[in-house]
């Protein structure tokens, strides 16, 4: 499986508008320091997971030619509010024709929450027909050629946040990019070839997993490798980019690294 990290940033991307900190100032002059909204692309099936407001920039940067499938983990804007940009790119408004219909997958509960906050689905699905909503629930799998994709509710069928397990030829990759403080299933996934997970916060903030607790989870799960994404600009502002290297040195007994935009991953 060939993955590309489209975006490795957090709720607010790097550089943050208006911010003049060293991290954001560097990102404005060095594209390698930019972190777009968290998203990932799987080449074999032209699939994207999540689509923040800047998804078009991420897709264009990687010169991705088409998207056939779009998976949604939860309704939050930094993971969904670029959805129109993806699917409506296939619509020719001059000729009123669509060039393709993107198959969008998410659990019904996530769809209902997203529709409550962002309701364009009737137009996109029934009028210009650039997307089709498909429901996939906790533990349910869909096969796309040689790739099997399974929805993983963080705390079972009533979850509001999901990850996706990708499998091919015995290889397993679990993508859980956000809100993993509610993930209660680590004992079920102890045979992963790769875990791509939010990095957690370096500060202690209620309702968010801390990086140090995540490291304990990774040690318990024991994936062959972990890649940490959803890296918050406001944390880098306080701690600095160099802090990431210090953490890698401190926890050198754990096989992990921090994601960056454009990162290529072959499993």
pLDDT by position in tens, the chain (length 267): 999 999 999 999 999 999 999 999 999 999 999 999 999 999 999 999 999 999 999 999 999 999 999 999 999 999 999 999 999 999 999 999 999 999 999 999 999 999 999 999 999 999 999 999 999 999 999 999 999 999 999 999 899 999 999 999 999 999 999 999 999 999 999 999 999 999 999 999 989 999 999 999 999 999 999 999 999 999 999 999 999 999 999 999 999 999 999 999 999
The rounded distance, in Å, linking the Cα atoms of 143 and 246 is 40
- Report the CATH number at residue 180: 3.60.15.10
Distance in angstroms (rounded) separating the CA atoms of residues 184 and 182: 6
200 is in which domain, residue-wise?
2-266
| Average model confidence (pLDDT) across the chain | 97
Does residue 227 contact residue 265 with C-beta atoms inside 8 Å? yes
Number of domains in the chain: 1
pLDDT single digits (tens) 179-233: 999 999 999 999 999 999 999 999 999 899 999 999 999 999 999 999 999 999 9
> What are the backbone dihedrals phi and psi of residue 100, each rounded to the nearest 5 degrees, phi first?
-165, 160
**Assessment of whether the complete model's pTM goes beyond 0.95:** yes
CA angle 43/161/6 to nearest 5° reads: 30
């Amino acid at each position: 499986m060939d993955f590309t990290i489209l975006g490795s940033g957090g709720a607010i991307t790097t550089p943050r508008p208006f911010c003049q900190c060293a991290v954001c100032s560097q990102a404005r002059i060095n594209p390698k320091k930019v972190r777009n909204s968290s998203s990932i692309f799987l080449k074999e099936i032209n699939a994207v997971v999540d689509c923040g407001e800047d998804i078009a920039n991420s897709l264009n940067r990687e010169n991705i030619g088409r998207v056939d499938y779009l998976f949604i983990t939860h309704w939050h804007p930094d993971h969904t509010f670029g959805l129109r940009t993806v699917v409506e790119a296939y619509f020719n408004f001059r000729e009123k024709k669509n060039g393709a219909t993107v198959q969008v997958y998410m659990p019904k509960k996530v769809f209902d929450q997203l529709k409550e906050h962002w309701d364009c689905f009737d137009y996109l699905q029934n009028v210009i027909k650039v997307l089709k909503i498909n429901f996939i629930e906790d533990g349910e799998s869909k096969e796309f050629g040689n790739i099997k994709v399974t929805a993983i509710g963080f705390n079972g069928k009533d979850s509001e946040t999901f990850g996706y397990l990708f499998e091919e030829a015995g290889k397993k990759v679990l993508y859980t990019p956000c809100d993993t403080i509610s993930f209660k299933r680590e004992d079920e996934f102890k045979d992963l070839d790769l875990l791509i997970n939010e990095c957690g916060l370096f500060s202690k903030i209620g309702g968010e997993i801390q990086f140090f607790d995540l490291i304990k989870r990774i040690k318990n799960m024991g994936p062959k490798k972990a890649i940490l994404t959803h890296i918050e600009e406001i944390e880098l502002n306080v701690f600095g980019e160099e802090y990431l290297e210090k953490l890698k040195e401190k926890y050198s007994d754990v096989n992990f690294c921090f994601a960056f935009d454009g990162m290529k991953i072959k499993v």
